[in-house]
Amino acid sequence: MILNDIYHILQFGFLFLNGYLVSRLFIACGIADRIVRFFIARSKGKISHVIVYIVFTTAIISMFVPNIVTVLIILPLLELLRKDFQHLDGEKRRLSTSFAMANLYGSNLGGTGSVTGSALNVVFVGFILLKKIEGYNKIDFLSWLSWGFPFVLLVAAIACLLIIYVILPRELIHRIIDFENFVGKRKEYPHQRTGIVLSVASFIFWVLLSSINEIKRGALAPYLTGLAAAYMVFFIAIAFFVPQRERPGGKKRTAILTFKDLYANIPLKGFLLAVGVVAFSFLLFRLGIDDLLSRLMASLLPPDPSPFLVILCISAFSIFVSEFISNTTVIISLYVIAISISGAIGIHPLPVLLAVTICANSACMTPVASPVNAIAFAGVKGVNLKRMFLSGVLMDIVVVVCVTFLTRFIIPGYYRL
C-alpha cells in the first residue's frame, strides 16, 4: 500500500510538471494566442460575442494550463482589443472591466475543470494524499476532467450572461468594433506546429494513463509510473535539448523552449500584487487566522444540519472569505473543520473538501482573492472596481449553488463514495 501511494504521488508529480511545461509551450509557441484569435475572429467584432469567446476559450485553456498562466497569456490580447475600442464614446471603463472579468472568470472557473488547472488543486491533491482520505486514489486526470468539463461549461455560460448584462453598458451589447490592432499586430511564433503536437500528445498520454489506472487500479502502478517518467524525459529532451525547425520547410533549427521561457512574460505590477497576497496570507497564518476561521465556520452551522446545508454553508463561507483573505489560507483552514463536520454528520469528507477547493478557486469579486485576480485586475487599464465587486457577488452565489449540487448529488455517486 505504501509503495502504491508513492507511485500515485510520483504520477501526480509528473502530471503537474508536464502541465506547467505545456503552459510554457502555449506562451512561447503562441498556441494560446492562435486559439484565442481564431475564436474571437468568429465574433466578427460584436462586443457581446467577443466576451463570450474570451470566457469560453480562456476557461478551456485554463483547464489544461495553470490558471495564473492563462491570465498572463490573454493579457496582451486584451490590450490590443482595448486599443480597438478607444474610439467608442461613453462607458470605456465598463468595457475594459468586461474584458478583464471575461479573462478572470474564464481563468478561475476553467482552473476547476481539471486537476492541473489550478495551484489550489495541487493543494487539494496533496492534502487528500497526506491524510489518506478514502477515495484519494480515484482522483486522476481523466476522472476529474469527466465531471469538471461539463461543470466549467455550465458556469462559464452563466458568467457570460453576468458580464454582458451586469457589467457591459447596454448600448454596447450589439456594437461592432474594428479589429485593426487585434488582427493587424499578429505576432509570428516559432515552433508553433511542434508545440501543438507536443501539447496534444501530452493530453492523449495522460488520458490513456488515467484510463489504464482506472481499469487496473494499483496492479500496474510501477510500470505506469516508469512510463510517466520516461515520457517526461522524452518531453523535456524534445522541448529543451533537441533543436527543431522553427517553421515548416525552414532550415533554421533551435530549441523549442529555453530556461528563460520558464519564467518569462510575467507583468511586474501584477506579480508584485500577487507576492503581496501570498505574504499577507503568511502573516495571517502567523496570527492564528486558521483557528479563528475554523471556530467561526463551526459557529455558523445550526445543530443537526442536513448534508446539503453543510456543503452549502461551507461552500459559501469558502468563497466569500476567499474574497478578502488569500484562498490558499482559507482552504487549508477549512479542510480540517470540513473533515470534522463530515464525520460528525456521517457524510464522506472528499466531496466537502472538493467543494471548499472549487469555491475558493472561483472567488471573482476582489483583486486580493488570489494571484490570478491580482494579475487580471492589474493587467488591464481602467477596470471599474465597483462593477467587479457587484458582478462578483452574483458570480459567487452562482458558483456556490452549482458546487453544492455537484458535490452533494453527483461526486459521491461518480466516485462511489
Written as nine digits, the cell of 176 is 461592432
The string of pLDDT tens digits covering residues 92-143 is 777 888 989 999 999 999 999 999 888 889 889 988 988 888 888 889 999 9
| 47-56, 123-132, 209-218: the lowest-pLDDT one | 209-218
- Pure H helices in 346-410: 349-361, 371-378, 385-405
Task: Please give the pLDDT value at position 40.
Answer: 81
Residue 281 confidence (pLDDT)? 60
Distance between CA atoms of residues 60 and 177, nearest Å: 25
- Among 242, 293, 267, 296, smallest CA distance to 380 is for 267
Phi, psi of 128 (to 5 degrees): -70, -30
Domain boundaries, the chain: 2-259, 268-414
CA-to-CA distance for 61 and 66, rounded, in angstroms? 9
- Residue 217, pLDDT > 70, answer no
Grid cell listed for 129 = 494524499
Place of cell 495553470: 66
Over residues 65-92, the mean pLDDT reads: 74
Report the pLDDT averaged over residues 368-382. Answer: 81
Q: How does pLDDT run across 275-319, given as a tens digit for each residue?
A: 665 566 666 666 766 667 667 766 777 777 788 988 998 999 899
Q: Are 120 and 357 in contact (CB under 8 A)?
A: yes
Q: How far apart are CA 257 and CA 255, in angstroms?
A: 5
What's the pLDDT score for residue 69? Answer: 78
Contact status, residue 28 vs residue 261, Cβ threshold 8 Å = yes
What is the rounded distance in angstroms from the CA atom of residue 78 to the CA atom of residue 51? 11
Residue 90 has pLDDT above 80, yes or no: no
pLDDT at 183: 61
Q: Which residue has the higher pLDDT, 55 or 376?
A: 55
- How open is the CA angle 270-271-273, to the nearest 5 degrees? 65
Torsion from C-alpha of 145, 151, 154, 159, nearest 10 degrees: -100
What is residue 402's predicted lDDT score, i.e. its pLDDT? 97
Stretch among 116-130, 294-308, 322-336, 399-413 having the lowest mean pLDDT = 294-308
Contact between residue 98 and residue 50 where contact means Cβ atoms under 8 Å apart? no
Q: What is the mean pLDDT of residues 250-272?
A: 77
pLDDT level of residue 60 (50, 70, 90 thresholds)? very high
**Number of residues written out for the chain:** 417
What is the pLDDT, as a whole number, of residue 88?
Answer: 61
Instruction: Provide the pLDDT confidence category of residue 332 given band limits of 50, 70 and 90.
Output: confident
pLDDT, position 91: 64
Dig out the grid coordinates for 28 from the structure: 512561447
Average pLDDT, the chain: 85
Residue 408 has pLDDT above 90, yes or no: yes
pTM of the model: 0.87
The answer to whether 257 touches 21, Cβ cutoff 8 Å, is yes
pLDDT at 9 over 90: no
Q: What angle do CA 74, 47, 72 make, to 5 degrees?
A: 5
pLDDT band at residue 51 under the 50/70/90 scheme? very high
Lowest mean pLDDT among 176-185, 191-200, 391-400: 176-185
The pLDDT score that the predictor gives to residue 270 is 53
- Given a cut of 70, whether residue 390 has pLDDT beyond it is yes
Of 56-65, 263-272, 340-349, 394-403, minimum mean pLDDT range: 263-272
Q: What is d(CA 240, CA 250) in angstroms, rounded to the nearest whole number? A: 19
The stretch 61-80 carries a mean pLDDT of 82
The pLDDT score that the predictor gives to residue 269 is 57
Span of 161-175, 267-281, 289-303, 321-335 with lowest mean pLDDT? 267-281
Kindly state the average pLDDT of the residues 30-49: 83
> Is residue 380 within 8 Å of 82, Cβ to Cβ?
yes
Q: What share of the chain has pLDDT > 70, as a percent? A: 87
